[in-house]
Amino acid sequence: MKFALTGQQIMHSKSPALFAAAYHNHRRYSYELLPATTIGQAMSLFHSLSLLGMNVTAPYKQKVLVYLDKFSKEVEQVGAANVVLRQGGQLVAYNTDVVGVTDAFIQNGVAIQGKTALVLGAGGAGQAATYALKKGGARVFWANRSIAGIKTVAKHYKVDCLPLDDVSKHLAEVNLVVNTLPVMAPALENLPLNETHVVLDADYKHNPLAKLSAERHARYISGLSWLLWQAVPAFFYFTGVMPDVPAMKRVLFPSNDFPL
């Protein structure tokens, strides 16, 4: 059984090591990286290599949908997928980012119900985070450089949307901050975080808000937590076998320097 991850700028990805740890006793499974310059190229590789399943990351989580036959409930709600799976002659889309965001907080002892959250960014990860937090019982502010493209979706989710330049004005109302932006936006460089905030970055390579969170005494959760908790159900979809979660944790947090 062959699986892979596709996207752009993925050569640093920890997913192959994570998959190897998850199924260290199952040698019939393989997992590789498939960097692709277009989603069309990614899907061509998926078919030519006869992959059973594939993880999808930026910038293809939304673009991949036109190539797929069936959507899970989460994909229908979010409009993005991070898992593609061959099932019954069809290509089925799943979104485990929703669980990944929720469990990144819950597994670190942070409740979502009754909190006020701020989501930064409106790509596939941002939409998944917004949906997950709203579903979990939080009031959500959804911020993006331009809000024109997210107003309709924000209304559907029943969340408030605002431009990035206005984020600081609302931060005093917020408990949870989820950053899904691919680069540090100027509007966030002096974000007035404090000890009442819990911050989750999606980008575990650059950890854009880690330094600022430490300086402002906000609690910080690495994007590695999101990576872990979205991977657990994704790998189960692929294999039908529950992955070895403790082994996965040891790959991501070998010295226990980060929360789980």
pLDDT digits (tens, 9 = 90+) for 185-221: 888 889 999 999 999 999 999 999 999 999 999 999 9
Residue 139 is predicted with a pLDDT of 97
Side-chain-side CA neighbours of 53 within 13 Å: the count stands at 24
Residue 70 is predicted with a pLDDT of 98
Q: Give me the tens of pLDDT residue by residue for the chain, a chain 260 residues long.
A: 999 999 999 999 999 999 999 999 888 999 999 999 999 999 999 999 999 999 999 999 999 999 999 999 999 999 999 999 999 999 999 999 999 999 999 999 999 999 999 999 999 999 999 999 999 999 999 999 989 888 998 998 999 999 999 999 999 999 999 999 977 888 888 999 999 999 999 999 999 999 999 999 999 999 999 999 999 999 999 999 999 999 999 999 987 655 55
Q: Where in the chain is the domain with CATH 3.40.50.720?
A: 99-221
191, 193, 199, 205 alpha-carbon torsion, rounded to 10°? 50
Round to whole Å and give the CA distance between 22 and 248: 6
Pick the CATH number of 2-95+228-252 from 3.10.129.10, 3.40.50.720, 3.40.630.20, 3.40.50.10860: 3.40.50.10860
192, 197, 200, 204 alpha-carbon torsion, rounded to 10°? 60
Residue 43 is predicted with a pLDDT of 98
Round to whole Å and give the CA distance between 138 and 133: 6
Residue 124 is predicted with a pLDDT of 92
Verify whether residue 249 is a known catalytic residue.
no
Tell me: the pLDDT tens digits for 12-45? 999 999 999 999 988 899 999 999 999 999 999 9
Full-model pTM: 0.94
Residue 185 is predicted with a pLDDT of 82
Q: Where in the chain is the domain with CATH 3.40.50.10860?
A: 2-95+228-252
Q: Which of 14, 61, 115, 134 is catalytic?
A: 61
The yes/no answer on whether domain 99-221 falls in CATH 3.40.50.720 is yes
Residue 25 is predicted with a pLDDT of 87
